Amino acid sequence: MKKIIFLALFFTIAFAETNSTIAKGIQEKINTLNTIINASIWNVRYENFMKYQNINDEILILNLDLKKTTDILAQEELKRKISNLKEQLNLLKEYKDLNFAQILSAPNHVEILPKLTNPLAIIGAFSHIKKIKGEKEEYLSKFNEFKNLVDKIKEKNSELKELVDFDPSPKNIQALKESDQKLEEFDQILNFISASYSVYEKKIDEEISRVSSEIKIQTLRAINIIISIVFVIAISFLLKYIAKKYIKDSERYYTATKIINFININIILLILLFAYIENISYLVTILGFASAGLAIAMKDMFMSMLGWCVIVFGGSFRVGDRIKVFQNDTTYVGDIIDISFLRITLYEELTLETYMKNRRSGRIIFIPNNYVFTNLLANYTHHGMKTILDGIDINISFDSNIEKAQEIVEKIVTHHSKKYTELARKNMHRLKDEYSIKNSKVEPRFFVFFEHWGMRISAWYMTSSYAALVLRSTISKEIIKEFKKHSDIKIAYPAQNLYVDKMDLNHKFKDFPIKE
């Protein structure tokens, strides 16, 4: 009998120790879970919310006690407690409401990117996708953090239930009750934000899919445009190569490249315009009204553009031509160094005009293209002509040997202008194919005229359009040098004869009598 009692006591003690060990292990797990749960910001907010509610309930109870009691000391004590609790309540006022659902709920709407209309918007589209993905990941991080907290509370709840089975003490039962209440509230919030997240995730995915599709469309469109532009540029290079191969004249080649570049740029602009304008008819209407206003406000500019077309396609002027421009009372002579869309650029050269009037040269002169409609422009080298007819006049006295003087002048002029005469003859044949020229004589011509102070020999000859002064200077020196060799040829110049009475002079200058 004693043995049976001893064995029963032994097993009871062993069972109690086993239960105690198991309960201790469960309590350690609960403590670990409490550490994790208490570290969560969401649990802190919940605990502060519960503390706020408890303090508020306590204040209500104390206010009821204050109304019931008549003891002054008790009233003062109750008032002091209420005041302290109100200060604590004021510190916890931001936790007045358990607004987890408001804080954790997904945004009601997703930022919508406008429809992509050009390749430049692709950069902004990628930035938009990155932004909404970041917002989604940020929200998902908060959602997972809260979900992990709920999982830990559930795990703690399970451990508490197991602990109560081994140790159904009031303390453990109260802890389980509080944990059940917290779990119920957190579960409701988790269900709400889970549904909210599902809707938000679907909106995000739809927006990313839409933008990605538009990026693909714009990328393909950009590739097609680039291919078209590269093709147009390749064609322009091919045309320039052909022009360089078959056009030997450098001025004509320059003009051809200018035209190719102009057409090339306009085609590229048209490709870009029609690729990204959705409503062409609307554009045409806008351009119609805009062009009407611009035509009035920018008349000179449009006239210059039209003038450019006349110059380039009409062939009146080319880069390298020597021209004379008349503006009011001033005349400019120089070489065209550029013909742009709005103006002709002229480099002023040293010419007879400079020598006779301007007395300065070497300036860069800008001539609006619309001058071809309103002002006179003379071309010295039109259609490949490299020569012009220049003239030089020599006056000799009436008693000079006119025939000899003319013969000397003809010989010198003919000798020095010979190569230009041949060049002019070749160019004149080419010019006659395009124009009706009746008098195509290019040989030197000589004339003799009667002037007040002598006889004038006028010599006209072909010379270089770019170096007329050089030949004029050479011929002038040769003529003077040759005239000096002949005593019967005298250069005439304006002079006056003065006739005075000899007796009158002797009277005025009696101290210096004039001797015969």
Question: Is residue 218 predicted with pLDDT exceeding 60?
Answer: yes
Q: Give the separation between CA 136 and CA 157, rounded to whole angstroms.
A: 31
- Does position 282 have pLDDT exceeding 70, yes or no? no
Residue 63: its pLDDT value, please?
A: 82
**Rounded mean pLDDT of 40-53?**
76
277 confidence band (pLDDT: 50, 70, 90): low
Identify the pLDDT of residue 15. Answer: 45
In 39-97, alpha helices (H)? 41-68, 72-91
Burial of 257 (0-12, 13-18, 19+ CB in 10 A): middle
Cα–Cα distance for residue pair 262/259, rounded to 1 Å: 5
pLDDT band of residue 462 (cuts 50, 70, 90) is: very high
Which range, 71-85, 355-369, 398-412, 439-453, has the best average confidence (pLDDT)?
398-412
Residue with tokens 């940020």: 138
CA distance 336 to 85: 97
Q: What digits encode the pLDDT tens for the residues 102-132?
A: 666 667 677 788 887 777 778 888 888 888 8
The pLDDT > 70 percentage for the chain reads 83
Q: Which of 115, 105, 109 is nearest to 132 (CA)?
A: 109
What is the C-alpha R_g of the chain? 55
Alpha-carbon dihedral angle through residues 130, 135, 138, 139, given to the nearest 10 degrees: -140
CA proximity to 215, closest of 113, 126, 110: 126
Residue 362: left (phi > 0), alpha (psi -120 to 50), or beta?
left
Residue 477 phi/psi, 5° resolution?
Answer: -65, -40
> What is the reported pLDDT for 24?
72
List where CATH 2.30.30.60 sits in the chain. Answer: 302-380
Cα 82 to Cα 57: distance, rounded to the nearest angstrom: 11
- Rounded CA-CA distance 338/321 in Å is 10
Look at the domain 302-380 and name its fold.
Answer: SH3 type barrels. (2.30.30)
Residues 6+ apart with CB under 8 A from 334: 322, 323, 346, 347, 348, 349, 365
Give pLDDT, residue 20. Answer: 63
Closest CA to 412 of 346, 471, 353: 471
Asked: is 387-516 a CATH 3.30.70.100 domain? The reply is yes
And the tokens for 384? Answer: 């490949």
Q: Which residues of the chain form CATH 3.30.70.100?
A: 387-516
- List, in order, residues 6 or more apart from 25 with CB less than 8 Å away: none
pLDDT-derived band at 10 (thresholds 50, 70, 90) equals very low
What is the C-alpha to C-alpha distance for residues 362 and 356, in angstroms, rounded to an integer?
16
With DSSP H G I counted as helix, E B as strand and the rest as coil, what are the percentages for the chain, rounded to 5?
A: 65, 10, 20
pLDDT digits (tens, 9 = 90+) for 364-408: 988 888 888 888 888 888 877 888 889 999 999 888 999 999 999
